[in-house]
A and B are shown apart, each in its own frame.
Chain A
Amino acid sequence: QQQVKQSPQSLIVQKGGISIINCAYENTAFDYFPWYQQFPGKGPALLIAIRPDVSEKKEGRFTISFNKSAKQFSLHIMDSQPGDSATYFCAASTQGGSEKLVFGKGTKLTVNP
């Protein structure tokens, strides 16, 4: 019940295309859903996050879509660029308690020029 399932494991997109990464969860107590971006040799960094009171959040080329009834959320990267090539992790947590995040297993995105 604490798991967050992420797919696909890897993704190859052409420059200018749309990258879509999906995550699903079971624990209905989760109420915070961030996405982290990680470049090789670096620690993950927060990219964008959403709370379940909205169905979509957009920041530049990055959009989170959230479907509360289906317990799914996804990251869309519009106009994908080679510089977006990285590993992306979805995560979930509850606001109360110990502030722990549960992470998906990651998606390695490659954007070809």
Chain B
Amino acid sequence: DAGITQSPRHKVTETGTPVTLRCHQTENHRYMYWYRQDPGHGLRLIHYSYGVKDTDKGEVSDGYSVSRSKTEDFLLTLESATSSQTSVYFCAISGDRGRYNEQFFGPGTRLTVL
């Protein structure tokens, strides 16, 4: 497995509370991504990063923010969690273009918002 860890792996929280998910890589890859996976929707991109402090929105970014202060860490924050954000969250990384965009995924975080 590519050196990607996600923490926590499981979390149950209540509506309105802030939540931060962490993605850590040991591959020194430039690109990092946050996806959510929901039945019937596949994988949808939330935010991505193309370098330290360089981030941009994906398809479903509303209600989420991200930060990347170091190459190895990419944080996803739900400022005020809602039940619609109950999902499995995956972090992914990819290297330079020579790898033809292969993305390596982490093990996922299952988040439940009550």
Contacts and interface: CB of A to CB of B under 8 A. Distances in A.
Contacts, number: 57
A103 interface: yes
Contacts of B42: 6, 89, 103-106
Nearest to A49: B100
B105 A95 contact: no
Which one of B33, B44, B102, B108 has the highest number of Cβ atoms from chain A below 10 Å of its Cβ?
A: B102
Q: Which secondary structure dominates chain A's binding surface?
A: loop
Which one of A42, A44, A46 has the highest number of Cβ atoms from chain B below 10 Å of its Cβ?
A: A44
A101 B105 contact: no
A100 B47 CA distance: 10
B74 interface: no
A44 B90 contact: yes
A10 to B, nearest CB: 11
Contacts of A80: none
A57 B105 CA distance: 23
Contact of A99 (B44, B58, B101, B104): B101
Interface residues of A, number: 23
A94 to B, nearest CB: 9
Interface string A43-71: 11110010100000000000000000000
Contact of A34 (B90, B101, B105, B106): B101
Contact of B43 (A44, A45, A49, A93): A44
B101 A101 contact: yes
Nearest to A90: B42
B102 A98 contact: no
B101 A45 contact: no
Contacts of B56: 98
A36 B104 CA distance: 10
17 contacts: A6-B42, A34-B101, A41-B108, A42-B107, A43-B105, A43-B106, A44-B43, A45-B105, A49-B100, A89-B43, A98-B31, A98-B50, A98-B56, A99-B31, A99-B94, A105-B40, A106-B43
